[in-house]
Structure 1
Amino acid sequence: MLDPTAVIADDVVLGEGVRVGAFVVIKPGTVIGAGVEIQDGAVLGKSPSLARTSTAPRDPLPGLTVGDGAVICCGAIVFAGASIAAGAIVGDQSYVRERAVVGERSVIGRGSCVDNDVRVGARVKVQTNVYLTAYTVVEDDVFVGPGVCTTNDDTMSRHDRAYQLRGATLRRAARVGGGVVLTPGVEVGEEAFVAAGALVTKDVPPRTVVMGVPAHVVRDVPDADLLEHWR
């Protein structure tokens, strides 16, 4: 079902049963799988507009791909070169940049930003107004609470082009509470728990609970809280 107000480029591939809402724009080269829902006002396959000083790669981008059964919600913008896997949900007014990957059945919450070259695994829950900065890695089954902010530049732009930006790494089944800030390059270990409002300035060991500003270890994650008991 295609709303008559939608603007769809000639070479876009639409799978069987795709639903396209009002005022949707789908740019050239985009491939949409079967049963995908694209809600009102979404823009798919947008090209990036990079600042002159940006260090992001400028190579030509392939088309956006959206897997079977995914949902792109109202007002979302998903760039060319991104990949949205089967069953994923990209929430209202969220933003997924070029070369980002969102894994199967993952959810990107309302107003959240998945920056360029971010990898989000399967079954990840990214809540409202989260910022996943460029080069962040989020492994499978991670929970990212509302308002979490990751950063990737220790110099805050006072560097030359050779400087390497470093996003955060969130290992499998880690949980990060609301309002947490993660500084460049930190790693949150597998099954770790970061309490709301923490400032993470160094790596968090696996299966530990950290809290505070700066975050520090307060105890271990109990066996009863491990993901294997909650599937």
Structure 2
Amino acid sequence: MQEQLFYVHPQAEVEAGAHVGSGTRIWRQAHVRTFATIGEQCNIGKGVYIESHVSIGSRVKIQNHASIFEGVTVEDGVFIGPHVCFTNDMFPRAITPAGQLKGATDWEVTPTIVCYGASIGAASVIVCGVTIGSFALIGAGSVVTHDVPSHALVFGNPARFHGYICRCARRLTAVQEQDGQHTGWCETCQTYCTFER
């Protein structure tokens, strides 16, 4: 019998057919559905729900009670705060126009992508169909309805642009743009951060 290379709390549920990478820890009351994929060295907090066909990269931290529904792709190194909710249908209804309860094939899943190194603050809602760029930072309690550029700081309802962020999650100053490249100064790192928007 092959040794399990990841940890699942006795009160968590990982359905048959889900893939979990080595070094990943899944804590109590989390639920990972069939055909979900989770990479290596992730931390999946208490009560997290990961639906079928969700793709989670490696070294991702998902805090307590986040809900990640089908159609979501989370790249490596992403932080998802507690109680974050991803939607996946732009036109949700419990019933069909004829009044019948919708089945699994009646939903119109709209994909969402969270790119490398991005962070999503607690209790944010991510409306489906958006791309959150690399190292973007979503402030707590935000409702994201549009794409978020790389290294952007957004917050509010709806979330709006409030500046640029370093890889260390501190604000960049003196941001300049030339030929599609942005450069900003990070006081914390004492270095320039260069990125494409």
Shorter-normalised TM-score: what interval? 0.7 to 0.9
1:115 aligns with 2:59: no
8 A Cα contact 2:81 2:121, kept in partner: yes
8 A Cα contact 1:126 1:144, kept in partner: yes
Q: Hey, what's the Cα distance between the residues in 1 that align with 2:155 and 2:89?
A: 23
Equivalent residue, structure 2, for 1:24: none
TM-score, length basis structure 2: 0.78
| Identical aligned residues as a percent | 31
Deviation at 1:156, TM superposition (A): 1.0
TM-score, length basis structure 1: 0.66
Equivalent residue, structure 2, for 1:165: 109
5+ residue gaps, structure 1 = 1-13, 16-33, 37-67
Deviation at 1:187, TM superposition (A): 1.2
1:206 aligns with 2:150: yes
8 A Cα contact 1:77 1:96, kept in partner: yes
Deviation at 1:190, TM superposition (A): 0.6
Equivalent residue, structure 2, for 1:72: 8
Q: Hey, what's the Cα distance between the residues in 2 that align with 1:142 and 1:74?
A: 26
Equivalent residue, structure 1, for 2:162: 218
Equivalent residue, structure 2, for 1:140: 76
Q: Hey, what's the Cα distance between the residues in 1 that align with 2:17 and 2:168?
A: 40
Number of equivalent positions: 163
Equivalent residue, structure 1, for 2:139: 195
State the one-letter code of the partner of 2:48: S
Equivalent residue, structure 2, for 1:93: 29
8 A Cα contact 1:72 1:90, kept in partner: yes
8 A Cα contact 1:126 1:146, kept in partner: yes
State the one-letter code of the partner of 1:105: Q
Per-residue CA deviation, residues 94-140 of structure 1 (Å, 9 max, x unaligned), is 00001101100011110000011000000000000000011210000
5+ residue gaps, structure 2 = 97-101, 171-188, 190-197
* Residues 79/224 of structure 1: CA separation in 2 closer, same or farther (3 Å cut): closer
Equivalent residue, structure 2, for 1:149: 85
Q: Hey, what's the Cα distance between the residues in 2 that align with 1:81 and 1:222?
A: 38
Per-residue CA deviation, residues 187-209 of structure 1 (Å, 9 max, x unaligned), is 11111000000000111111100
* Residues 178/156 of structure 1: CA separation in 2 closer, same or farther (3 Å cut): same
Q: Which of 44, 61, 65 does residue 125 from structure 1 map onto?
A: 61
State the one-letter code of the partner of 1:126: I
1:174 aligns with 2:156: no
Q: Which of the two has greater strand per residue?
A: 2
State the one-letter code of the partner of 1:115: E
* Residues 148/223 of structure 1: CA separation in 2 closer, same or farther (3 Å cut): closer
State the one-letter code of the partner of 1:195: G
8 A Cα contact 1:150 1:167, kept in partner: no
